[in-house]
Chains A and B, each alone.
Chain A
Amino acid sequence: MILLQIIFTNVGNPHALGQKPLTFPRQVVALCQAPFLLDDPNVELVFPADAIARAKHYLSLTSGGLGAYSDAHGIPGIRKEVSEFIERRDGYPSDPEHIFLTGGASIGVMQILNCIIRGELDGILVPVPQYPLYSATISLLGGSLVPYYLEETANWGLDIVNLRQSVAQARSQGITVRAMVIINPGNPTGQCLSEANLKEVLQFCYQNNLVLLGDEVYQQNIYQDERPFISARKVLMDMGGNISKELQLVSFHTVSKGYWGECGQRGGYFEMTNIPPKTAEEIYKVTCTSHSPNVPGQIFLGLMVNPPKPGDISYERFVRESKGILESLRRRAQIVTDGFNSCRNVICNFTEGAMYSFPQIRLPPKAIEAAKNAGKVPDVFYCLKLLEATGISTVPGSGFGQKEGVFHLRTTILPAEEDMPAIMASFKKFNDDFMKQYEDYGGYLRM
């Protein structure tokens, strides 16, 4: 028996697969953890001057260092840095008072949905396939998930007609559709929305009185040049007129993804656009019961939106590390897509963004039957066999939602680049063996 190494490609958890943390933020936060180091004459032997200066800067923004609760919605100075980042990115001013720092983007999503969902008659439009935080949260809060299907054959594009149909059907069943979620770049699908698509979505939400929830946590992870990231807020502001003053939008971001991958820090934020102050106050009130997001995570966020600049001692290294990661991710996105597409029964859209690949696996009828006999959904069956045979741990597409009778799996593009060819070869071998086994009409079912 061959002892397999398990390859965890089931979670978007870059550091667990060998991606190194960026050096500069770790230096800064370490110094903030141990401020007594700043007084030590030997500190410059181990830490660069700009990290030391930045640590002092962030400590001065806190109300007692890393160990004090901050404002419930985050340290004001860091919220200001976030607003400045948003302004630089989009070209429109952003108000720090409309920004709430949270313990990861997920917490922010849960807080906003908790505000919106009053009962099971409140529906939230969620893309299918979707990241199951949404389905889980809607379920926990007692609301209704209203699915809208992304079109796989159109590169997981958004179909306004399907969107309208979903809403109409929900309403006919007494559901009040309250909000729409877009994940851009998509998870698990990776598609990057075009500006035209975003405009359509915004108009749609405006016409239907929906709050738009823009999950933009993968905005740094873009692997093609045709559709760079453009924030929902920028498109909204570009549209001008009444819609830009009235359409309610909440945008989410995090330190867990991008090229930072600092999942374990639990740092994120949401920005509210056109949400009435009294409502924001109520959201603030609820966040107070959990005091404040963790302070180190807030500092990571500050560093992410306000990284080293040209001329800073740490700038070159920072850029080298960041570029290295992003360029490698881009190459891995291609390797994985090509690897899947080299299998005759697999169709894989290119990973335009985010961290995942979501190939469609065409399963022969015998495989589907075998799955049924084993008491498993077909893609679960396939993924379990894949794990047993190769050690590759993926997530069956049924965990994200898909069209009836169509099967997928989600894998990440995060394993080290040098391991990728072997992993894809291992997958292909498994898949081809699987197909031989279950397409073999004269054969028998192997245990």
Chain B
Amino acid sequence: MRRFVADLSRKLTPERRKNLVTCVLQHRTCSLFSSFQSQSSVVIPIRFLNTASVDPSMASDYSGSPVTLDTINIKVLNCEYAVRGEIVTLAQKLEQELKENPGSRSFDEILYCNIGNPQSLGQQPITFFREVLALCDHPTILDRAETQGLFSADSIERAFQILDQIPGRATGAYSHSQGIKGLRDTIASGIEARDGYPADPNDIFLTDGASPAVHMMMQLLIRSEKDGILCPIPQYPLYSASITLHGGTLVPYYLDEATGWGLEISELKNQLEAAKSKGISIRALVVINPGNPTGQVLSESNQKEIVEFCKKEKLVLLADEVYQENIYVPDKQFHSFKKVSRTMGYGEKDISLVSFQSVSKGYHGECGKRGGYMEVTGFSPDIREQIYKVASVNLCSNISGQILASLVMSPPKVGDESYESYFAEKDAILSSLAKRAKTLEAALNSLEGVTCNRAEGAMYLFPRIELPKKAIEAAKSANKAPDAFYAARLLDATGIVVVPGSGFRQVPGTWHFRCTILPQEDRIPAIVTRLTEFHKGFMDEFRD
């Protein structure tokens, strides 16, 4: 576990590094580069090499450098995450401006359509879940008569049930590193009820959201840049960021926009072979179902092909299923990859599968709680031990999030006191999401040069824009990707924040942006109007 100073056979001659100077005011002028003085309040980088091309094999000099841009881990520098990228920084500046000078713009608020964060845009949490969580946070009130006047009877009952599964009812204690056993039992039952196939609580690792679980798997699977992970393009940039951070290689497979973002096995095969011929060893296939940013829901037959492919090529199937409750079209249904595999007769010995779920999405939208899990099947016990070991370095995920994950996987049932209000809340949210998806999709499709596939699921629309040549040139002069240029203009004119398609990757030469369907219904008409007006103005300006 511990590595002390190793006896290295190779000695490095201390090599003076090329003079990368990033001098920042208020902070010191590096004594190694004392000739440079900065007076302005802008960071003036004097770089002989830009960050993207810093040679990772460059040894630092003998004295050890302080932590500056030129001496930090290059994987950190190379990692990108557009969802909170440049456009968001611009938006925050604009928001500040609006606060300081109200009325300075034609719009009076910033509309954050960049991030799948429902409750920041007015979506209400599910009452029953919050009742149970509040009681678990403050269990001393459970025995008081007045509490019954404040909380529903079944939420009190559920809180008792959950607390009995926690030693000493201590919700403030670190739990087992995979999460509280009783909660994992509940989740396993929930998975079984969903899929019709048994789930083992020992396969479940509760994490602070699905993202840390994804990081854990990437850490495990990636040994070097020769290890490749097949990712859908367009993809949710957690994957590209995580692969970069762990030093691996992203191997893209393109979803087909013309067929509703279809996944072709032939494309998977081609990309796999191409990567292999370059000496990349493919370790896993990421599938996001329902898709992000693309929103497509895979057909069961497609899923079967994917399972066969992974089995044949001996790939770990990483199934990001966080949007499993967000389905908006009657002709599609969610099937978990575990269910599909088991239906095909494939068990533990046949396919290595990791399924990710989260409390952040669905109809519950509890992003801020950081709750989620991965269900890990088809790995040998010694690998499972390693996964457990990595999970244990951070001790455990937050208990409240664990409880919420168990509630999401076992919500009120017909006959429970809270069932009707729970169902009404859930139904209202989901039908509203479906409605907003449709309205925004239609609006986008009505714009000149814009085509938008329907959002079958998830929380996003990913329209394609045919940008005129003049716009592309203007973008180039502004040193921006064309879709980033469009998004910046959109923000500037309307206050609407979207994420440029380049943040998700796309077929080269095509341009998109991702917009969430999350603003509340009463905001949608204003968004549609502003967007339509802006787009018309933009096209008038740049039309060929």
Indicate if A421 sits at the interface (CB-CB under 8 A): no
Q: Which residues of A contact B117 (CB under 8 A)?
A: 64, 68-69
The residue of chain A having its C-beta at the shortest distance from the C-beta of B139 within the complex is A26
Per-residue CB contact flags for chain A residues 135-149 toward chain B (1 = under 8 Å, else 0) read 111111000111100
Per-residue CB contact flags for chain A residues 7-42 toward chain B (1 = under 8 Å, else 0) read 000010111101001010011011101111100101
* In-complex Cβ contact of A176 among B59, B122, B144, B215 (8 A): B59
Report whether B173 and A69 are in contact in the complex, using a CB–CB cutoff of 8 Å. Answer: no
Q: Which residues of A contact B11 (CB under 8 A)?
A: 173-174
Indicate if B242 sits at the interface (CB-CB under 8 A): yes
Q: Which residues of A contact B367 (CB under 8 A)?
A: 67-69, 291-292
The residue of chain A having its C-beta at the shortest distance from the C-beta of B45 within the complex is A278
Contacts A115-B72, A286-B245 given; indicate if A13 touches B174 (C-beta within 8 A).
Answer: yes
Report whether B208 and A276 are in contact in the complex, using a CB–CB cutoff of 8 Å. Answer: no
Q: Which residues of B contact A106 (CB under 8 A)?
A: 393-395
Interface residues of A in 100-120 (CB under 8 A from B): 103-104, 106-107, 110, 114-120
Indicate if A210 sits at the interface (CB-CB under 8 A): yes
> With A and B bound together, what is the CA distance between A111 and B239 in angstroms?
18
Per-residue CB contact flags for chain A residues 283-296 toward chain B (1 = under 8 Å, else 0) read 10110111111111
> With A and B bound together, what is the CA distance between A207 and B106 in angstroms?
55
Q: Which residues of B contact A263 (CB under 8 A)?
A: 172-174, 395
> With A and B bound together, what is the CA distance between A68 and B361 in angstroms?
11
> With A and B bound together, what is the CA distance between A354 and B59 in angstroms?
38
Per-residue CB contact flags for chain B residues 1-23 toward chain A (1 = under 8 Å, else 0) read 11111111011100000000010
Q: How many A-B residue pairs have CB under 8 A?
A: 304
Report whether A264 and B173 are in contact in the complex, using a CB–CB cutoff of 8 Å. Answer: yes
Report whether A209 and B393 are in contact in the complex, using a CB–CB cutoff of 8 Å. Answer: no
Indicate if A65 sits at the interface (CB-CB under 8 A): yes
Interface segment out of the listed B398-406, B446-454, B506-514: B398-406
> With A and B bound together, what is the CA distance between A14 and B171 in angstroms?
11
Indicate if B62 sits at the interface (CB-CB under 8 A): yes
Report whether A114 and B245 are in contact in the complex, using a CB–CB cutoff of 8 Å. Answer: yes
Q: Which residues of A contact B131 (CB under 8 A)?
A: 34
Report whether A37 and B170 are in contact in the complex, using a CB–CB cutoff of 8 Å. Answer: no
> With A and B bound together, what is the CA distance between A171 and B395 in angstroms?
33
| Contact count band on A | 35 or more
Distance to closest chain A CB from B136 (angstroms):
9
Most buried by A among B83, B130, B397: B130
Report whether B72 and A282 are in contact in the complex, using a CB–CB cutoff of 8 Å. Answer: yes
Indicate if B175 sits at the interface (CB-CB under 8 A): yes
Q: Which residues of B contact A295 (CB under 8 A)?
A: 368-369
Contacts A264-B174, A265-B398 given; indicate if A116 touches B368 (C-beta within 8 A).
Answer: no
Q: Which residues of B contact A69 (CB under 8 A)?
A: 115, 117, 120, 360, 367-368
The residue of chain B having its C-beta at the shortest distance from the C-beta of A142 within the complex is B247
Q: Which residues of A contact B10 (CB under 8 A)?
A: 174
Report whether A286 and B170 are in contact in the complex, using a CB–CB cutoff of 8 Å. Answer: no
Report whether B396 and A264 are in contact in the complex, using a CB–CB cutoff of 8 Å. Answer: yes
* In-complex Cβ contact of A289 among B79, B173, B396 (8 A): B79
Report whether A289 and B211 are in contact in the complex, using a CB–CB cutoff of 8 Å. Answer: yes
* In-complex Cβ contact of B174 among A11, A29, A114, A137 (8 A): A11
Q: Which residues of A contact B364 (CB under 8 A)?
A: 67
Contacts A115-B72, A262-B172, A292-B368 given; indicate if A37 touches B398 (C-beta within 8 A).
Answer: no
| Contact count band on B | 35 or more
Contacts A144-B3, A145-B3, A296-B398 given; indicate if A264 touches B56 (C-beta within 8 A).
Answer: no
* In-complex Cβ contact of B369 among A36, A42, A66, A208 (8 A): A66
Indicate if B161 sits at the interface (CB-CB under 8 A): no
Interface residues of A in 224-283 (CB under 8 A from B): 242, 245-246, 248, 256, 261-266, 274-279, 282-283
Interface residues of B in 62-84 (CB under 8 A from A): 62-69, 71-74, 76-77, 79-81, 83-84
Per-residue CB contact flags for chain B residues 26-44 toward chain A (1 = under 8 Å, else 0) read 0110000000000000010
Q: Which residues of A contact B59 (CB under 8 A)?
A: 121, 176
Indicate if B209 sits at the interface (CB-CB under 8 A): yes
Report whether B69 and A278 are in contact in the complex, using a CB–CB cutoff of 8 Å. Answer: yes
The residue of chain A having its C-beta at the shortest distance from the C-beta of B117 within the complex is A69
Indicate if A70 sits at the interface (CB-CB under 8 A): yes
Report whether A294 and B369 are in contact in the complex, using a CB–CB cutoff of 8 Å. Answer: yes
Contacts A139-B3, A208-B64, A297-B398 given; indicate if A285 touches B81 (C-beta within 8 A).
Answer: yes
Distance to closest chain B CB from A146 (angstroms):
6
> With A and B bound together, what is the CA distance between A279 and B367 in angstroms?
27
Contacts A289-B211, A294-B369 given; indicate if A42 touches B149 (C-beta within 8 A).
Answer: yes
> With A and B bound together, what is the CA distance between A70 and B215 in angstroms?
20
Indicate if B365 sits at the interface (CB-CB under 8 A): yes
* In-complex Cβ contact of B393 among A133, A256, A274 (8 A): A133
Report whether A116 and B73 are in contact in the complex, using a CB–CB cutoff of 8 Å. Answer: yes
Report whether B368 and A275 are in contact in the complex, using a CB–CB cutoff of 8 Å. Answer: no
Given contacts A211-B67, A263-B395, A291-B209, 4 further A-B contacts (CB under 8 A): A104-B394, A117-B73, A140-B393, A401-B2
6 smallest CB-CB distances across A and B, nearest first, come from: A295-B368, A264-B399, A30-B138, A64-B120, A68-B120, A294-B370
Interface of A with B (CB < 8 Å)? Answer: 11, 13-16, 18, 21, 23, 26-27, 29-31, 33-37, 40, 42-43, 45-46, 62-70, 72, 103-104, 106-107, 110, 114-121, 123, 132-133, 135-140, 144-147, 169-171, 173-179, 208-211, 242, 245-246, 248, 256, 261-266, 274-279, 282-283, 285-286, 288-297, 401
Name 15 interchain pairs, CB-CB below 8 A, sorted by A: A26-B140, A62-B368, A64-B368, A65-B125, A103-B370, A106-B394, A115-B67, A118-B72, A135-B1, A174-B8, A264-B400, A290-B215, A291-B370, A295-B369, A296-B368
